[in-house]
Amino acid sequence: MRLAFQLASRNLRGHRGRSVLSSLGIFICVFFVVAIMVLSGSVTKYLSLYFTSGNSHWTIISGASDNSLLDFLRQPLATLTPADLADASHIAGKGNAIANRFINATATSDGTSTQATIIGTTSINEQDFNLSLAGGSWMNDSHSDNKPLVVLGYDIAQSLIGTDIPQNETVTIGGRRYTIVGVLKKSPQPLSLMGINLNHSILMSDANSAKLSGNKNYSQILIRGLSMAQRENFRQRLAQNHDSASDYSLITADKLGQRVHDLSRYIILIAGGVIIIILLISVVAIASVMMVSITERKREIGIRKAVGATPHNIVQQYLAETLIITVRAGLAGFVLAYIVAGGIALIYHLPLVFNWWTLLVGVAGPVIIGLIAGIYPAVKASRQNIIEALNQLT
């Protein structure tokens, strides 16, 4: 077997261009699938760490149906009521339930306008969301609930006032002027506990956001430290407060992580048709290249048989060539996928997770493809007539 791989490597070095082109499809498929698997694992790990930071296990109640795979990617509707918040505070304890209201609006300052997500919150401390201020202060004045005060996300602040140190600037939202009291530090990645990109958000008090939207309902309630029994109790309260279960969804970090995995599988399935077509083309291309190689190397086959090579030896050599082509392409796709995923994880401060399934895709998959593509050409080569082959020497 060692001799087979040595002969196969020598032959492939003489036909590098042909072998590279024939393995391109396998490289693309492995890269795509592994990259998605790695990134979904990184996002899931991040969510698990984020939602359980500081021993504070969060439960999210969102004003959206729990039926859609993509629900967690879209802004929830304001269907949670003040009664839901009161029940959450009663079950979890005062200070452990935070309600948020999301509004899409245009913010204007000194003639500059930008679209932003307005977050009206009952939180009285930026630490509730693991946030830090780049400048200014939070809306923590005991009488600030009805005062027109806002805290800007970093990117919004750069667009509207050009600095992260507010100095009595104002911003107009929905025809009302608000004083900017603080600016958040730039978040290194868009995933947040609220499911909103805070860099493009404006935070204000619950009372101010209710006036802005004309609606006292909430888009989201965050509850810290619920036990399983308390969570089930609150689920029953929600069922009593709402006519339809589609008015709300209750999710934990584990369940959200599962949704991320489901989404990655969903993406792979959507692209599955294209992947299968590319793989089939790759198998046909590799098999065709090997068939051409057999035709060109009849003399080599005849000489090997004349000096004692068995059909089994010939099969080994040609299978070794296809395996080298496919496994090399798979490993290249595997390594590049981890490099790209690692770069994305580094940019967005996500943990890079190694998954044994990705190694299986990167190595076992190409091995199987190599065997499928190479078995017919290898058998055909082994059945080459020695007399016919040697006649080409003359």
DSSP per position, 336-380: HHHHHHHHHHHHTT------HHHHIIIIIHHHHHHHHHHHHHHHH
Q: Let me know whether 68 and 176 are in one domain.
A: yes
Computed over every residue of the chain, the mean pLDDT equals: 79
| CA 36 – CA 59 distance, rounded (Å) | 27
Same domain, yes or no, for 341 and 220? no
Segment 87-104, tens digit of pLDDT: 999 998 877 899 999 999
Same-domain check for residues 380 and 341: yes
Task: Say if 155 falls within a structural domain.
Answer: yes
Q: Looking at the domain assignment, is residue 271 inside a domain?
A: yes
Q: How many structural domains are present in the chain?
A: 2
- From the list 281, 287, 295, the residue with the least C-alpha distance to 370 is 287
- The answer to whether residue 176 is domain-embedded is yes
Give the whole-angstrom CA distance, residue 153 versus residue 156.
5
Q: In this structure, are residues 80 and 217 in contact, taking their beta carbons and an 8 Å threshold? A: yes
Specify if 57 maps to a domain: no
Are 313 and 365 part of one and the same domain? yes
In a domain, 258, yes or no: no
Name 256's Cβ contacts closer than 8 Å, sequence gap at least 6.
47, 51, 60, 72
60-95 pLDDT, tens digit each: 888 865 444 445 556 788 899 999 999 999 998 877
Least confident of 15-29, 162-176, 317-331: 15-29
SS3 202: strand
Which of the four pLDDT bands, split at 50, 70 and 90, describes residue 210? very high
Tell me, yes or no, whether 89 and 230 share the same domain: yes
Q: State residue 47's pLDDT score.
A: 66
Contacts of 370 (CB under 8 A, 6+ apart): 286, 319, 322, 323, 325, 326, 327
Asked if 112 and 222 sit in the same domain, the reply is yes
Residue type, 255: K
* Residues of the domain holding 9: 2-47+265-391
For position 223, what pLDDT does the model report? 87
User: Do 342 and 282 reside in the same domain of the chain?
Assistant: yes
Q: Rounded to an integer, what distance in angstroms lies between the CA atom of residue 214 and that of residue 216?
A: 7
Could you tell me if residue 338 is inside a domain?
A: yes
Mean pLDDT lowest among 42-46, 168-172, 282-286, 343-347: 42-46
Over residues 180-200, the pLDDT tens digits come to 999 998 876 555 656 677 888
β-pair type (149-152, 201-205):
antiparallel
Q: List the single range of 6-20, 119-133, 174-188 with lowest mean pLDDT.
A: 6-20
Task: Indicate if the pLDDT at residue 220 is higher than 60.
Answer: yes
Has residue 79 been placed in a domain?
A: yes
Q: What is the mean pLDDT of residues 206-225?
A: 90
pLDDT at residue 66, as a whole number: 44
The residue among 213, 247, 281 that closes a domain is: 247
Q: What is the pLDDT of residue 195?
A: 65
Contact between 60 and 86 under an 8 Å Cβ cutoff? The reply is no
Whether 38 maps to a domain, the answer reads yes
pLDDT at 351: 79
126 & 273 share domain: no
* Per-residue confidence band for 328, with pLDDT thresholds at 50, 70 and 90: confident
Coil/strand/helix, residue 182: strand
In the chain, alpha helices (H)? 2-13, 16-22, 24-51, 82-92, 154-160, 206-213, 228-241, 253-270, 272-296, 298-306, 311-347, 356-359, 365-382, 386-391
